[in-house]
Amino acid sequence: MRRIVICGDDFGMNPAVDAAILHLAGMGRMSAISCLSLGPSFAASADALHGHDVDVGLHLNLTESLGGVPAMPLSALIARACARRLDPAAIDTAVQRQLDAFERGYGRAPDYVDGHQHVHQLPVVLPRLLHALRRRYGARRPWLRCTLPRLPRGMVPADAFKAWVIGALGGHALRRAAREDGWRTNTRLLGVYGLRGGARLYDTLLRRWLAAAQEGDLLMCHPAVDAPSRTDELWRQRAAEFAVLSGDGLAEALLQHGLAVRRLSRTQAQ
């Protein structure tokens, strides 16, 4: 069996996201949970993470105004990072505040660190993050999400381009740092798409990703239970992801392709 990680992003964003992720973790459908430690529901929901057989990580946020951390639009953040115009001291403060909140809410260090909208890998951000993790955790380092993509056959060109761009914005730098300094990472990233299209499209994409998955790959997802008060397209798609991930099709596809959902902290993937 090839071992993969299925990772639920944005835990702590609100109770609907938290409920979906906890339900899927209870079903054994995911093996990693990425937490917005300053999110409005994290403090109330974090204790429920204990007892699930998952890695629990920090979902580093620099683009959403949560918990008083200064944020900027993703496009502006990317532009300033690539121009090396981000303030290192501000990055240090954001990282430390979110690690403090994670440890305070969950009770221990994160098993891994990734980024909301993949900000953890950006220039300026990545070296400051790695410095903070080395200083804080020493030899007991968390693993890191690598964004270098695994592109399945039949992928929509726009989705393939999005996956390529995400990887190009820091995946190679993160992989290089991992190899040079001994950080553990997933092998490749799956799950990138336009975050629209409903349950039928998501089911098709999920089966393609699983057919392409290799040992140590990570498939990210963004589920939420249905919330009737939410009418925007992104929220409907989160509910569609939850419907597919909690249905019978996922278990069938995992079996068909010889895949097992496992915690990366318990595998040898690099």
For 88-116, the pLDDT digits (tens) are: 999 999 999 999 999 999 999 999 999 99
AA letter at 75: S
Distance CA 37, CA 68 (A): 12
For 17-47, the pLDDT digits (tens) are: 999 999 999 999 999 999 999 999 999 999 9
AA letter at 183: W
Please determine, for residue 186, whether its predicted confidence score (pLDDT) is greater than 50. Answer: yes
Q: CA dihedral defined by 225, 61, 78, 201, rounded to 10 degrees? A: -10
Please determine, for residue 62, whether its predicted confidence score (pLDDT) is greater than 60. Answer: yes
Residue 162, classed as helix, strand or coil, is helix
pLDDT band at 267 (very low <50, low <70, confident <90, very high): confident
Please determine, for residue 268, whether its predicted confidence score (pLDDT) is greater than 90. Answer: no
Query: Is 11 within 8 Å of 34 (Cβ atoms)?
Result: yes
Query: Is 6 within 8 Å of 260 (Cβ atoms)?
Result: no
pLDDT at res. 269? 45
DSSP state for residue 42 in the 8-state scheme: H
Number of domains in the chain: 1
CATH of the domain at 68: 3.20.20.370
For 120-174, the pLDDT digits (tens) are: 999 999 999 999 999 999 989 999 999 999 999 989 999 999 999 999 999 999 9
pLDDT at res. 229? 58
Distance CA 73, CA 109 (A): 28
Residue 84, classed as helix, strand or coil, is coil
pLDDT band at 230 (very low <50, low <70, confident <90, very high): low
Q: Which among 245, 239, 237, 243 has a CA at the least distance from the CA of 226?
A: 239
Distance CA 244, CA 32 (A): 18
Distance CA 113, CA 99 (A): 10
**Segments forming the whole domain that contains residue 171:** 2-266
Q: Which among 153, 163, 219, 160 has a CA at the least distance from the CA of 186?
A: 219
pLDDT at res. 270? 42
Whole-Å CA distances, 216 to 31, 106, 149? 12, 26, 13
Interval 192-209 mean pLDDT: 96
Please determine, for residue 58, whether its predicted confidence score (pLDDT) is greater than 90. Answer: yes
pLDDT at res. 227? 67
Q: Is the dihedral of CA 243, 247, 251, 256 positive or negative?
A: negative
pLDDT at res. 79? 97
pLDDT at res. 266? 84
